[in-house]
Chain A
Amino acid sequence: MMTNEILTYLLLIPILGSVLVLFFKNEQVKLIRWFGLVVSLIAFLISLIAYQKFDSSNSAFQLTHQIVWIKSLNVSYFVGVDGISLILVLLTTFITPLTFLSTWKAIEKNVRMFTFSLLFLEAGMIGVFISLDVFLFYIFWEAMLIPMYFIIGIWGGERRIYAAVKFFIFTMFGSLLMLVAIIWLAVYSSNINGFFTTNLIELYKVGPTIPAQIQAWMFGAFFLSFAIKVPIFPLHTWLPDAHVEAPTAGSVILAGVLLKMGTYGLVRFCLPLFPQSAIHYAPIISVLAIIGIIYGALVSMVQTDMKKLVAYSSVSHLGFVVLGIFAMTVESMQGAVIQMINHGLSTGALFLLVGVVYERTHKREIAFYGGIAKLVPLYSTALMIAMLSSVGLPGLNGFIGEFLILIGSFKSPVLNSFWFTAFAATGVIFAAVYLLWMYQRVVFGKVTNPELEHELTDLNAREFIVLIPIFIFIVWIGIYPSTFLNMTEVSVKSILQQISQTSVNILK
């Protein structure tokens, strides 16, 4: 394996930026904002260079960099990417500068600390996606709770404290059980190999040899931690609170990237480390995913608060991703990865757009709005695109992901029943119902509220700049998804290969 430091630079840039920002004076608001934006743009550029160097026809982890960190426990700083992690890293570095831009006006209080938190958070998220050592992964996974906790707690809405603490404790609960499982794996590998290891590539060999009974427990511990993060029904209750109370920037990051850490964990750890258990429990988990799809959609339908509606729609959309992962076919898993990106883009855009009107009117109730098409035509168009992408209109990105997941799950040998697909497909219809209905109530008709005429102004240039890149990708994935599917195809196949090696008769 060739050593390549580029991922380390990618990780260090936001960390360095977050430390440097502390040396600014709190009054230099403008400078701090520009600084945060520039640092995150540099990170984006570096991730593009990493993309250039990445060879998508190679299934091994690439751009790896390994340094021994804790010798006594044989833990090393070991990073590297395959197609799946790289695409998520790109999503992270792409979303973060946009978040900075979107908060140009919205965050007035303690900008320095906000910039610090957001850059620190970016480093944590990148770290989660590139870690190839389970222990290192855990460190990033936990460390990134702290900045998110501050983002919700300091700049959030009225019930921000409740939401922040709930978010923290829910995640901590799952991840600490995962910690026990990680230690158990390290100790188990020392019984087999004669040395402790938390190196993921080594553990891939060890994991499938764990006796079924214990493997189920290990799988459960990892799964619980990721399921809380995704969130899978019935562990989703922290999500609406966190989303609604977080500032727009927090919601965008939360929906755009943080939730993907859960699904990424399922793909990277749960399936290849514990393949037998994953196959064994796949039907049950898929049922939960489908309950999530339908439940999330039904609850979205009755929301009166736009932000809450979008938040619950996340539960529904991520149900698709989980279904795609546990159907364990190439199509469904490809679809799941694309759907992770899609959800990041379209839900991120929806949160941004809700934030735009909230900034102007400080109201999020659907009933407050009505007939704004006449007042803010540009805004209405943007909302239309974001909404249709979330609904899954063919030609836009959402369709590709959902379609692949539905095809994949239909012919999945693991699930082995078309009912999964049938029920999941209703989620697409429901999505159309709640989003279109919201759109109709907010945008069409007569202007119901005279207050709107004074307060509501159309998108300004900055907001436009934030939304345009997202829309470019929404259309790009919708029309020519091969760019992205090619990137992940080999990696997805290699993960499925790893699973099928251990259980030949189930997967073909």
Chain B
Amino acid sequence: MPSNNYEYYLLLPQIILGVGIILSIVIEITTKKSEEILPWFSALIFLFTGIYSLMNIDKNFLLFGGMVEVGGKASIFNFIFNIGAFLTILASTDYIKKYGIYYGEYYILIQSSVLGMMVMAMAHDILIIFIGLELMSICFYVLAGISRKRFSNNEASLKYFLLGSFATGFIVYGIALIYGSTGSTSIQIIFENFTQYISNILFVVGMLLFFVGFSFKIAAVPFHMWVPDVYQGSPTSISGLMSTTGKAAAFSVLLIMLGSSLVYSSPIVFRNYFAVIALLSTIVGSIVAIAQTNLKRMLAYSSIAHAGYMAIGLAAGNKYSFAGIIFYLAAYVFMNIGAFTVISLIEGENETRLDLDSYAGLHSKNPFLAAMMSLFMFALAGIPPMAGFFGKYYVFFGAIQEDLTWLAIIGVLSSVISVYFYLRVVVYIYFMNAKESFEIQKSFGSNLAIAISGLIVLFLGFFPDTLLNLIVSVIK
């Protein structure tokens, strides 16, 4: 266990982001040029905090009397959140003009949500988790509906809010039961006396309710009902952010709560719980995605399936599978934000051109976007040598180590199913002739985001060790 210390400089990313939010509000109010300043201002903050976190990965301390744990695993997650947000900002510079949501709040809310995620990832106390979760979720509810006049945005926002509050209710109830049975909200204390608490049925129920609430946040079946509508209805750049960094934040909490091997050793109930949601998510996500023609909706179901693959790692619960989940999340950020950015470029005004038909013959219109979209699709399908493959590989590796071979087999079978709908996008792009003619939006920021994502997806595929060694070094 890391010792108590006074290394407050490790909180610098959170502090800078907090100050950045306040400054952004000031900029938004005072200058008329805020629309040009804010994107670059927030992109710089994200880039800095992301890299700063990565540089402090080898340090690991408990601060504030054991309330938060900085460095180590939290640093990796900070990097994932910030780089995801950075790419999203790059991708939205021109998109939000087209979409008509040219508000300063857009950037401020993204910054706040990332701060919430960072608080979640560093939490070492259930209350801190809850604070971070609410900060992130509320920003997301607003971002999903940021275009106030659009029906689809309102629908997405309201659905997300209602179902999200419902899930929060589960989490709070779980926390209450955990607190009631243990007398503490400190994760450290809970883990130390875990064997004693686990015989208390209220504690087990509390933990389960807590996990159920977070299963909602990671978009796992059977708590996935909100995902397709919200991802489809939200602005495309926001869907990319929610589906990647939001999922990563929820997983960071699950990894914290499952961080003790005792969770797996004493009762079989938690492992079985995650095995079941993994099984359901992979199968339902992959099969239902086949029926989708709207690309955003298809990626929403694919996101459910990916949550399932990662949940296989939760069920396995060893060093490799946890490292695998984090690697998977990092890879998923680049694959999925890349794909959503391509969608945001193809998308016309008033949410047109989101269907597969619009992608027919894309390779003759724009070879760069065509090649990149195909790359992301192959990567999401988990075909080597792309980053997505290694995410799955490590997770399955962990599962087989724990004698969960059946779960790995279910995982690969649903991968085969998912290949079908990912390939279909490539079929439209390369094998079909254009059905409609339209101008593809030109945007330097979006193309840059796509190029960065594509390069990293390939890089992590050829040299997975670069990231994996870092991750393994921080997993205890």
Interface positions of A (Cβ within 8 A of B): 69-73, 138-139, 142-143, 145-146, 149-150, 153-154, 160-161, 164-165, 168-169, 172-173, 176-177, 179-180, 183-184, 186-187
Contacts and interface: CB of A to CB of B under 8 A. Distances in A.
Interface residues of B, number: 32
A380 B383 CA distance: 44
Contacts of A172: 383, 415-416, 419
Given A73-B397, A180-B396, 19 more contacts: A70-B465, A72-B468, A138-B384, A139-B384, A145-B383, A146-B383, A149-B426, A161-B427, A161-B432, A164-B427, A165-B427, A168-B419, A169-B419, A169-B423, A172-B416, A180-B408, A180-B409, A184-B405, A187-B397
Contacts of B472: 72
Contacts of A169: 416, 419-420, 423
A153 B393 contact: no
B468 A187 contact: no
Interface in B419-437: 419-420, 423-424, 426-427, 430-432
Contacts of B424: 165
Nearest to A153: B431
B412 A165 contact: no
Contacts of B409: 177, 180
B397 A177 contact: no
Contact of A180 (B405, B423, B430, B465): B405
A124 B383 CA distance: 13
A184 B416 contact: no
A169 B424 CA distance: 12
Contacts of A142: 383-384, 389
A79 to B, nearest CB: 15
A165 B423 contact: yes
B393 A183 contact: yes
A187 B401 contact: yes
B86 interface: no
Nearest to A145: B383
Q: For the complex of A and B, list the 6 residue pairs with the smallest distance between their C-beta atoms, beginning with the closest.
A: A176-B412, A139-B384, A153-B431, A173-B416, A183-B400, A70-B465
26 contacts: A70-B464, A70-B465, A72-B468, A142-B384, A142-B389, A143-B385, A146-B378, A149-B423, A153-B427, A154-B430, A154-B431, A164-B431, A165-B423, A169-B416, A169-B420, A172-B415, A172-B419, A173-B413, A177-B412, A179-B393, A179-B396, A180-B396, A180-B405, A180-B409, A183-B396, A186-B397
A183 B423 contact: no
Given A168-B419, A172-B416, A176-B416, A161 B408 contact: no
A26 B413 CA distance: 39
A72 B469 contact: yes
Contacts of A160: 431
A213 to B, nearest CB: 13
Interface of B: 323, 378, 383-385, 389, 393, 396-397, 400-401, 405, 408-409, 412-413, 415-416, 419-420, 423-424, 426-427, 430-432, 464-465, 468-469, 472
Contact of A143 (B384, B400, B413, B432): B384
Contacts of B383: 142-143, 145-146, 172
A71 B469 contact: yes
B326 to A, nearest CB: 13
Contacts of A70: 464-465, 468
Nearest to A135: B393
Contacts of B413: 173, 176
B420 A165 contact: yes
Contacts of A146: 378, 383
Contacts of B378: 146
B270 to A, nearest CB: 22
B400 A184 contact: yes
B205 to A, nearest CB: 34
Contacts of A149: 423, 426
A70 B469 CA distance: 9
A69 B420 contact: no
A141 to B, nearest CB: 9
A196 to B, nearest CB: 9
Contacts of A176: 412-413, 415-416
A376 to B, nearest CB: 34
A352 to B, nearest CB: 25
B474 to A, nearest CB: 13
A26 B381 CA distance: 29
Contacts of B396: 179-180, 183
Contacts of A150: 430
A143 B462 CA distance: 12
Contacts of A73: 397
Contacts of A177: 409, 412
Given A154-B431, A187-B400, A72 B465 contact: yes
Contacts of A145: 383
A168 B423 contact: yes
A21 to B, nearest CB: 14
A347 to B, nearest CB: 26
Contacts of B389: 142
A139 B424 CA distance: 22
A139 B416 contact: no
Given A71-B465, A142-B384, A161-B427, A183 B408 contact: yes
Contacts of A179: 393, 396, 412
Nearest to A22: B371
Contacts of B405: 180, 184
A180 B415 contact: no
B313 to A, nearest CB: 13
A150 B431 CA distance: 8
A367 B288 CA distance: 46
A14 B430 CA distance: 23
A164 B428 CA distance: 13
A168 B401 CA distance: 29
Nearest to A178: B412
Nearest to B408: A180
A186 B469 CA distance: 19
Contacts of B393: 179, 183
A142 B384 CA distance: 6
A161 B389 CA distance: 24
A175 to B, nearest CB: 9
A161 B384 CA distance: 22
A368 B423 CA distance: 36
Given A165-B427, A169-B420, A183-B396, A139 B412 contact: no
